[in-house]
Amino acid sequence: MSSEIIALASDHGGFVLKTSLTEELKRLGYMVLDLGTHSGDSVDYPDFGYRIAAALAEGKATLGVAVCGSGIGISMAANRYPWVRAALCHDVTSARLSREHNDANVIAFGERLIGTEVAREALRVFLATPFAGNRHVARVEKLGAPPRTPSIS
């Protein structure tokens, strides 16, 4: 059993894949924090992206999994907070690179766009891949501290 707690959240469009990924995490020995939604009834994806951000901010989870129909809306929502680095992944390579280069702490999927087996493998790779550090450290730090007023130069 891993001591890591993984938070999961989805809207109705990601509910089925979230259920499958929850099973996969439990099979791998992770503790899970399921932040909903808990059925296929229509809900608003931002509310669930914000729950993932809250779980990370409050230290209730170290990593998150976010799912909606496309993965776009829920990752946009989570990424509105500077401590969230949510990577929308459609394949195993993006999952690996999101950890190596970006130190992603949330992986996002689009249930309507990715197969279950690919998503499960991408999740396994995401969890197994360490941040590469070195030249990537300063870049990731910049993600956490965007300038209040961005400049074109």
Would residue 89 show up in a list of annotated catalytic residues for this protein? no
Longest dimension (CA), the chain: 49
Dist. CA 46–CA 114, nearest whole Å:
20
C-alpha 122/C-alpha 89 separation (Å) is 8
Residue 64 near ligand RB5 by CB under 6 A: no
48 sits near ligand RB5 (criterion: CB under 6 A): no
68 catalytic residue (yes or no): yes
Least Cα distance to 14 among 65, 67, 52 occurs for: 67
Does 24 participate in binding ligand RB5 (rule CB under 6 A)? no
- Residue 118: Cβ within 10 Å count: 16
Alpha helices in 12-128 (DSSP H): 15-27, 45-57, 72-78, 92-100, 116-128
Nearer to ligand RB5, 47 or 100 (CB): 47
**Binding-site member from 21, 53, 68, 104 for ligand RB5 (CB under 6 A):** 68
**70 lines the binding site for ligand RB5 (CB under 6 A):** yes
Task: Single out the catalytic residue among 12, 68, 90, 136.
Answer: 68
* In the complex, least distance from residue 13 CB atom to ligand RB5, rounded to whole angstroms: 3
Site residues, ligand RB5 (CB under 6 A): 11, 13, 45, 68-70, 72-73
